[in-house]
Chain A
Amino acid sequence: MIRGARGGGLIPTLVLLVGALYCLIPVVWILVAATKSNAELFSTSTYLPSFTGSFWANITGLFAYQDGIFARWALNSLIYAVGGGVLSTLVAAAAGYALGKYRFRGSTMIFRFIVAGVLLPAIVLAIPQYLLLARFGMTNSYASVLLPLLVSPYAIFLCKIYAESSVPDEIMEAARIDGGSEFRIFTSVGLRLMAPALVTVFLLQFIGIWNNFLLPSVMLSDNELYPLTLGLYGMLRVSGGQAALYSFVIMGALIAIVPVVILFLSLQRYWRLDLISGGVKA
């Protein structure tokens, strides 16, 4: 220990621990707070959990709230995040592979068109998207929240760079000589070699959609279609600074965090954040 400290490891370790503490405080607090009833939330020490059975009461109370609407929100969030994540990853993979591995008429133009899309931030477009979809009576549906999220210029960009650097022409050529059709080559060679990029893009898209708030709040008026974020915000607003629903909101927030954190930790080994900084090395 002392030798490690003498080697200059003490200060960086302390800094990292302070950082970890900063990042953990809200998470630990919500674990503690979830064990409390509304009354206990305000009367007991904020650092100590309660063991009066309120944890379970909060769960049952939350799932019983408005005939179990919370379970519906959780399911909706899964539909949006998994469905949107998978579809947008496929869209990005197909486009990135085509732009990275083929030269065809207009391919440079198309790539510029896609990159220009980065300049129109999705969140600013939410309201124009609503106004446009409203013209066609398409708002207040699953499609209205899913469709605008299916294409991410940034994801296409990542997939293109990755396809260029990790799908070698020689392997594609060998597959051609073996008589594989171009489509077979895409599905069996291209997608497989692009797997690390696809996992990364899927996770980024999943988290982006899971965390989405403005788009659903603009598009949806029927609370049966709400994702978790919007539903919990609604509960907080209903309680309007009054404490009536606080313990349910806290439990709901805890439940909303758990699946994403688990997904992250379990896929940790497979995804490559270095792609984000464009640090792809062939």
Chain B
Amino acid sequence: MTTLASRPRRRRRLQSNTLAVLLVAPAVILLALFTFAPGIYAFILSLLQQKVSGGLFGGTTTEVFVGLDNYASALADPELWASIGRMLTVAVIGVPATVILATVFALCLDARNARLVGFSRIVIFIPYAVPGVIASLLWGFLYLPATSPIGGGIIDYFGSTTIFFSVANIAVWGVVGFNMVVLYTAIRGLPAEIYDAAQIDGASELQIALRIKLPLIRPAMVLVGLFSVLGALQLYNEPTTLRPLANAITSSWVPLMKVYSDAFVTNDIYEGSATALIIVALTIGATLVISAIGNRFSRSSE
């Protein structure tokens, strides 16, 4: 009796395991080939350098192992630090602006007597569907003195200081709606009972928003902050697209632009790889730091 029942079950388990492996295989293979292999290849390249040997005529180029030399020279390059500084400046403006605006909009969407909620939610979300390059083109024309409807003739949006705000503004415009929806979803997910006591006590809508909703959506705010910081580290499309319009943006304005110009303009793929991996290290570091801060921050609210 038992043997009769267990044999098909064993076959069934074998069949299901085979299927599971087959289903997960494409993802694992693609990830290995197009994410990890390039990562490892970049790491190998970052340890090499091209050496010309064999004298002046008929010299051959070979790749030689140089240890951490590329990292040393990448880190010694003041332009890398300058580009990191500019990226951080944009981040210092853009990240708080994104988190604050997204939170304010989400709280307003959830406010009891707010009107035009559906309309506003869609309209504020729409920029997320606009490609960063196109968004930069649009804002570029809005900034450009000759075509500006927002006072580009009076304010120099491409000045040495204003450029940081101009770039940050494009990034914020693109992501604020997405983050607003993430936060709004978090607010909608709160149990309705928590408002009852507050309403009986006669708390105002503003008090409920600031004292009850805001502390409870802290984990979602940390997530939004993390998205924004990671977005800033990967800043590339906006400044690159603005470059033909704005002289203030150089070819290595932010770290990723520097990697690009190292690899393709100066043709130093070895130092370029080292710089790319430094950015990866910064990304991982930022993720860990924000998660750690986030954990403490969300726990302190409980």
Chain A residues with a Cβ under 8 A of chain B: 4, 7-9, 11-13, 15-17, 19-20, 22-27, 29-30, 33, 41-42, 46-47, 91-92, 94-95, 97-99, 101-102, 104-105, 107, 110, 113-114, 117, 119-125, 127-132, 147-148, 150-151, 153, 156, 176, 181-183, 186, 207, 210-211, 213-214, 218, 228-230, 232-233, 236-237, 239-241, 243, 246, 249-250, 253, 256-257, 260-261, 263-265, 268, 273-274, 276-277, 279, 281
Query: Is the C-beta of B57 less than 8 angstroms from some C-beta in chain A?
Result: no
Looking across the interface, which residue of chain B has its beta carbon closest to that of A236? B244
A26 contacts which chain B residues (CB < 8 A)? 127, 135, 138-139, 142, 173
Interface SS of chain B: helix
Contact B36 A279 (CB under 8 A): no
Give the docked Cα–Cα distance between A92 and B139 (Å). Answer: 35
A-B contact pairs, 25 of them (CB 8 A): A8-B112, A12-B109, A16-B105, A16-B120, A19-B108, A23-B123, A23-B127, A23-B176, A26-B142, A33-B141, A94-B24, A94-B26, A102-B16, A104-B17, A113-B31, A114-B31, A117-B31, A123-B234, A129-B34, A186-B19, A213-B131, A253-B134, A263-B129, A274-B189, A277-B182
Residue from the list A121, A210, A261 in contact with B280, Cβ < 8 A: A121
Apart from A132-B37, A268-B122: 15 A-B pairs, beta carbons within 8 A: A9-B111, A12-B111, A23-B127, A46-B148, A95-B27, A95-B28, A98-B23, A107-B24, A132-B41, A151-B35, A214-B256, A228-B131, A253-B137, A257-B131, A263-B129
Instruction: Give the size of the chain B interface in residues (CB under 8 angstroms).
Output: 102
Contact A16 B116 (CB under 8 A): yes
Contact A102 B20 (CB under 8 A): yes
Which 9 pairs from chain A and chain B are nearest by CB? A9-B113, A95-B27, A128-B42, A12-B108, A128-B38, A102-B20, A211-B131, A12-B111, A16-B120
Give the docked Cα–Cα distance between A120 and B181 (Å). Answer: 26
Contact A19 B114 (CB under 8 A): no
Residue from the list B31, B149, B150, B185 in contact with A273, Cβ < 8 A: B185
A99 contacts which chain B residues (CB < 8 A)? 20, 24
Contact A151 B39 (CB under 8 A): no
Residue from the list B37, B124, B220, B237 in contact with A214, Cβ < 8 A: B237
Give the docked Cα–Cα distance between A210 and B128 (Å). Answer: 12
Residues 65-110 (chain B) with a chain A CB within 8 angstroms: 101, 104-105, 107-109
Looking across the interface, which residue of chain B has its beta carbon closest to that of A21? B123
Give the docked Cα–Cα distance between A22 and B97 (Å). Answer: 14
Looking across the interface, which residue of chain B has its beta carbon closest to that of A242? B244
Give the docked Cα–Cα distance between A15 and B45 (Å). Answer: 51
Give the docked Cα–Cα distance between A210 and B132 (Å). Answer: 10
Give the docked Cα–Cα distance between A91 and B24 (Å). Answer: 8
Q: Shortest distance in angstroms between B281's beta carbon and chain A's nearest beta carbon?
A: 10
B253 contacts which chain A residues (CB < 8 A)? none
Contact A261 B241 (CB under 8 A): no
